Amino acid sequence: MAKKHYEWRLGEPPPKIGRHSLAKHRILDQYVRRYIEICTAIPVQKRLNLTIVDGYAGGGRYRFNDKDVRGSPIILLETVAEMQDELNRARPKGFDICTDFLFVDLNPQHTGFLRSEIENSPFQHMLDKTIHIWTDDFNSRVSDAIALVKKRSPQTGRSLFVLDQYGWSRVAFRSVRQILDELGKAEIFLTFSVDSLIDYMSEKHSGRRSYEDIGADPDFVREVLSKKKESPEWRSLIQNTLYRHLKSGTGAEYYSPFFIRSPEARRSYWFIHLSRHREARNVIGNIHWQENNISLHHGGAGLQALGFSKGADPRQLTLGYEFDEIARERSEQVLQDQIPRIIRDAVDPDLAPSLEYLFGRRCNDTPVTRELFEKVLVGLRDLGELRIEDAYGSDRPRARAINWSDRIVLARQRTFFGPFGLMGNNN
């Protein structure tokens, strides 16, 4: 995960890394482990084809508190190897995680340092076979990276792309869109420094190439800059505008625009996960709850909680919502009120909404995970506020887990203190 201000040179100590970047590494490690667990869940399966691309790889090693720590290329190699060992121990007939690793960096000093690191590691025998190191700009080699993925997984395009740029201008949105358009099972981790972009934005920069790479034409720049004049909460309004722009520019169906805090720089930046699959979105949401001391989002609790909807109070966006127990309890309280209202306002009054309708279509703009949403649904059912039925209309009075196709029905006789009972009805 290369940084512009990080420099690797053979024969010199590696650069120092911040605590917040170590948190990103933990999130990446946890996600790859969970990803492989999900992809290998079928007991009779014997093989998994996968390509992992680190588009801004750096030298593979850092210093933290006077100790050497792994960079993302080494983390990715070691995590897959450890999962391979686990699968071999668990399955008598063995299992093969057939992985190509592609590490890209524009600086030859960085790729030279990384090559030396791998040559002196247990992965030396994989170099130039299943470990590929390219000294080039990632955006100029996207088509080649996609071709490598298709060679390993021609049917599915199963792949993970780690695009941990420094700042905001090095990953072109067209590259992200191309990956998601051409690879059916690609997932992307993208770092995007909103604060850096806001600080950079001005009329005199409106024609710069860096704007073009994120699809920001002069009209868009003027729109964003006008927010400074509209509200004292202009920074949050700009984040709102940029979020909507990033969502449309990349074409991702599922995304998690959560922030990683940098205590050293007193800033936060998006560590965004982009994919075409709902379950992937849920996995990364759970991991952010685990990393609650470094993860946050700007917004409230419950559904539609990120504050990006039109007309949202911009003052809400300035509040850092942390993934802690207080946030979890608050989310449960808000959901207890939101869920009955969404059911009541469903488009088709003759057809009870499914879990997919209630949560699957709303999961992008919330820190809530499926597990937390199901917990609230079950609690409301146990209170007599609603019923849970399967897709054929049969009641599920004791189910603790809910299927995407299950229907959620408001109870005819709701409780006195429920959201739509006598004491809870505010309409």
In terms of domains, do 49 and 128 share one?
A: yes
**Cα–Cα dist 78/70, whole Å:** 10
Give 30: exposed, middle or buried? Use CB within 10 Å, 0-12, 13-18, 19+: middle
Beta-bridge partner residues of 162: 54, 189
Listed residues 322, 345, 368: the one ending a domain: 322
Report the alpha-carbon distance of residue 384 to residue 80 in Å, rounded. 46
**Structure token pair of residue 390:** 């399967």
Question: Distance between CA 136 and CA 57 in Å, rounded?
Answer: 11
Residue 75 lies in a domain: yes
Least-confidence region, from 65-79, 183-197, 208-222: 208-222
Domain boundary among 279, 297, 322: 322
Asked if residue 421 belongs to a domain, the reply is no
Per residue in 201-214, pLDDT (tens digit) is 665 555 566 666 66
Mean pLDDT computed over 161-189: 87
**Whole-angstrom distance, CA of residue 427 vs CA of residue 425:** 6
Alpha helices in 45-172 (DSSP H): 72-90, 108-119, 142-152
Q: pLDDT digit string (tens) for 365-378?
A: 788 888 999 999 99
- Is the same domain home to 115 and 234? yes
Query: Do 282 and 335 belong to one domain?
Result: no
Residues 45 and 186 both lie in one domain: yes
Answer whether residue 108 is part of any domain.
Answer: yes
The answer to the question of residue 12 being in a domain is no
419 located within any domain: no
State the residue range of the domain holding 401. 330-410
What pLDDT band is residue 417 in, cutting at 50, 70 and 90?
very low
Query: Which pLDDT does position 164 carry in this prediction?
Result: 87
Total count of domains within the chain: 2
Contacts of 301 (CB under 8 A, 6+ apart): 321, 327, 330, 331, 333, 334, 367, 368
Query: Is the model's pTM score more than 0.85?
Result: no
Which range, of 29-33, 134-138, 164-168, 250-254, averages the lowest pLDDT?
A: 164-168
Average pLDDT, the chain: 81
Based on the fold, state whether residues 130 and 189 are members of the same structural domain.
Answer: yes
| 427 lies in some domain | no
CA angle 415, 419, 424 (to 5 degrees): 85
CATH of the domain at 71: 3.40.50.150
**Residue 281 and residue 187 share a domain:** yes
Checking DSSP bridges between strand 186-192 and strand 267-275, what pairing results, if any?
antiparallel
Q: What is the CATH number of the domain that holds 369?
A: 1.10.10.10
Half-sphere exposure of residue 394, counting CA atoms within 13 Å on the CB side? 5
Q: Is the pLDDT of residue 72 over 90?
A: yes
Residues 141 and 261 in one domain: yes
314 and 218 both lie in a single domain: yes
- Per-residue pLDDT at 47: 94
Least confident of 82-86, 187-191, 299-303: 299-303
Same domain, residue pair 170 and 265: yes
Predicted local distance difference test score (pLDDT) of residue 423: 41
Binned at pLDDT 50, 70 and 90, residue 416 comes out as very low
